[in-house]
Structures are given as structure tokens and as C-alpha cells.
Amino acid sequence: MKVVLIEGDGIGPEVTAAACRVVRAAGVDIDWVRADAGLGAAERYGEPLPEQTLDLIKHHRVALKGPCTTPVGKGFRSINVRLRQGLDLYASLRPVRTLPGIKTPFEAVDLIVVRENTEGLYAGLEHQVVPGVVESLRVITRTAADRIVRFAFEQARHSDRHLVTFCHKADVMRLSDGLFLECARAVADEYPFIRFDEKPIDNVCMELALDPTKFDVLVMENLFGDVISDLCAGLVGGLGVVPGANLGTRYAVFEAVHGSAPDIAGKGLANPIAVVRSAAMLLDHVGERAAAARVERAVARTLEAKVGLTRDLGGDGNTASITDQLVKNLGS
């Protein structure tokens, strides 16, 4: 099976190499097709997201991606935003679950963050009105609002979840979130057996801090989803452990929630678990369900045993030692 691999930059090459090693050890023979994006690509092609990278994903349909830094102040638009818009990866899916062995204030967090991935405030439409005044456009379309809420309900249906919470700020952004809310209510009406709740996003933040266990599926606009994803990662052990998927009707790109972590890049200290678990989601997506479950079990065993863990998890190990443990804990 051929799958595109974008190493990315910063800690990207370190954590994606670990993920490829774990996938191979789990017994899945993937022929990784390397594609370039990020800082290196910007230097080599004068373009951080070369057209051939998009073409490779379009051809092979599925990719595992490391974090990519968009060079700031050089006129480039965000790689990640362009990738998601260019491949119409309209849904970002981040499962957030309490993991064994990691001490957190809550014991049984098990929720999914569904983020609209193509528009909202990240539509990328910004301009200067006059010097000293700029505008960013927050685009909400009925089509995108409808399909992301539908996606959230379908996720709920297929993973035996019973509550979808739509997060918004419709009292302030009356037109844009007003339309989103109206679409969410209409879709919810088609799913009478799944509970629907609508809450202001600031309220959701407070409730997540007080008791995240009462949430199930959260669905929201792009910027809200970016912020809430990191917040929720913090509830279960941080950015080093939470995986993610960007999904559309034709293509799927799997990547961690975290970025390129320039502060620890190149030192072999990064926690690969978020990307390893993203690779497990990829395995699940391509029908390798047993291998995906095996990888998830290995992650749980590794965290429980507390051997070789990286510093973000309170250990004194590194990327290599934790990857050794993951491979060992795959069992036979």
C-alpha cells in the first residue's frame, strides 16, 4: 500500500520517523511516498507547499503529515490552511481521551473535537483598509456549515456517542454564527436519537476546565476549533499525545495537533506519541483495524509502564527510548 509521507520540519522528521517505525513493527507494509512541505521546501522550491505535494496526495489519497512551519513575513499563506482548502479536507477530527499512566485532574475524558477546516476566520481573506486598519473576513457558508455538522452527527452515530454540542458566538456574530447555528439546528433535527446542545464558546471553555467528562462530540468553526483542540489536549496530557485527522470526501491527511516545536527540534526530545496515534487513525482509515488497535494498545502499555518516557510526560527519556518501548509493547 502506498501512502504519502510529509515529514514537515522542526520535530517533524523525528516524530514521523518514529511513527513509520512503529507502523512497520505493527506488521503493516506501507510503501511511504515522500513529499516535501515546510521550511525545507520553501528553500528548495521557493514554495513551502509545492504543487507536486498536493498532486501526490491527490494521486494516493492518504497522507501522514508532520508539522510544517509557514515562514512568517515572507508573503506565504499558511501551508496548513492551503493544504486543507486545496484538498477540501473540510473536517478536522481530534479524539481526546484520558490515557493510562498520565496524571491529570480528570479521569474519564472521552470526547471528539470536530473543527470546520476550510473557512471561518481562517478563510485567509485579510486586507488593509487604510494604514493602521485591517480587516479579516469570517466566511460561513450554508454548504460548509451543513456538512461539518452532519459530519459530527455521523461521527457520533458511528462511535456510539449520544451528544453533539455546537459551540458558537451567535449572540455577537449574529449573521455568521447565526447562519451556522441555523444550519446546525436543521441537521440536528435529522438525528432524533442523538442529543443536540448549543453553547457559547466561552461558556464551553469554562465547562471544559470544570468538567470535560460531560462532553461527547464538540463541533465548531475553524478558529474556535484550533483553540479548543489545544485546550482539550491539555486535559489529557498535552500536545505530545493527541492525534488528529483532516478528512474530506476524497482525501485524508493524518497529523498531530501540535506544531513543529522549534524549541526542542533537532534534539531528539520530542514525544512521537501524537503522530504515532495519528498513524493509528490512518491505519484504521485504510482498513488495517487490527494493527491500529495494536498500536493504541502499545501506547497505553508504554504510558502505564512509565519506562523511557519523554520529558513532556515527566520522564527522562527521549524520542528514541519511547519509540523503543512502543515497538516492544506492540507484542507479537
Q: Which residues bind ligand NAI (CB under 6 A)?
A: 11, 15, 67-70, 80, 239-240, 255, 258-264, 270-271, 274, 312
- Binding-site member from 177, 221, 226, 255 for Mg ion (CB under 5 A): 226
Say if residues 290 and 28 touch (Cβ distance below 8 Å): no
In what side-by-side order are the strands of the sheet with 195-200? 31-35, 2-6, 62-65, 252-254, 245-247, 91-97, 110-116, 217-220, 163-168, 195-200
Shortest separation between residue 323's beta carbon and ligand NAI, angstroms: 12
Nearer to Mg ion, 226 or 288 (CB): 226
Instruction: Indicate the DSSP class of residue 139.
Output: B
Nearer to ligand NAI, 216 or 226 (CB): 226
Is 312 annotated as catalytic? Answer: no
- Using CB positions, name the residue nearest to ligand NAI: 259
Nearer to ligand NAI, 194 or 245 (CB): 245
Which entry of 216, 226, 284, 312 is annotated as an active-site residue? 226
Please report the DSSP string for 145-211 in residue order: HHHHHHHHHHHHHHTT--EEEEEE-TTTSTTHHHHHHHHHHHHHTT-TTSEEEEEEHHHHHHHHHH-
Pick one of Mg ion, ligand NAI, none as the site partner of residue 221 (Cβ within 5 to 8 A by kind): none
Shortest separation between residue 328's beta carbon and ligand NAI, angstroms: 20
Nearer to ligand NAI, 149 or 247 (CB): 247
Is 226 annotated as catalytic? Answer: yes
Pick one of ligand NAI, Mg ion, none as the site partner of residue 7 (Cβ within 5 to 8 A by kind): none
Contacts of 266 (CB under 8 A, 6+ apart): 11, 14
Nearer to ligand NAI, 220 or 257 (CB): 257
- Please identify, among the stretches 79-87, 125-133, 134-142, 226-234, the one whose residues bind Mg ion according to the rule CB under 5 A: 226-234
Does 255 participate in binding Mg ion (rule CB under 5 A)?
Answer: no
Contacts of 141 (CB under 8 A, 6+ apart): 119
Which entry of 2, 55, 58, 202 is annotated as an active-site residue? 202
| Helix, strand, or coil (residue 34) | strand
What does the H/E/C string look like for 79-115?
HHHHHHHHCCCCEEEEEEECCCCCCCCCCCCEEEEEE
- Using CB positions, name the residue nearest to Mg ion: 226
Say if residues 22 and 298 touch (Cβ distance below 8 Å): yes
String of contacts with Mg ion for each residue 181-220, x by CB under 5 A:
----------------------------------------
Which entry of 122, 216, 251, 284 is annotated as an active-site residue? 122
Shortest separation between residue 78's beta carbon and ligand NAI, angstroms: 7
Distance between CA atoms of residues 151 and 164, nearest Å: 11
Is 306 annotated as catalytic? Answer: no
Pick one of ligand NAI, Mg ion, none as the site partner of residue 226 (Cβ within 5 to 8 A by kind): Mg ion
Backbone angles phi, psi at 90, to 5 degrees: -75, -15
Say if residues 23 and 302 touch (Cβ distance below 8 Å): no
Say if residues 271 and 279 touch (Cβ distance below 8 Å): no
Nearer to Mg ion, 227 or 307 (CB): 227
Distance between CA atoms of residues 90 and 144, nearest Å: 8
Is 146 annotated as catalytic? Answer: no
Enzyme catalytic residues: 122, 169, 202, 226
Q: Which residues bind Mg ion (CB under 5 A)?
A: 226
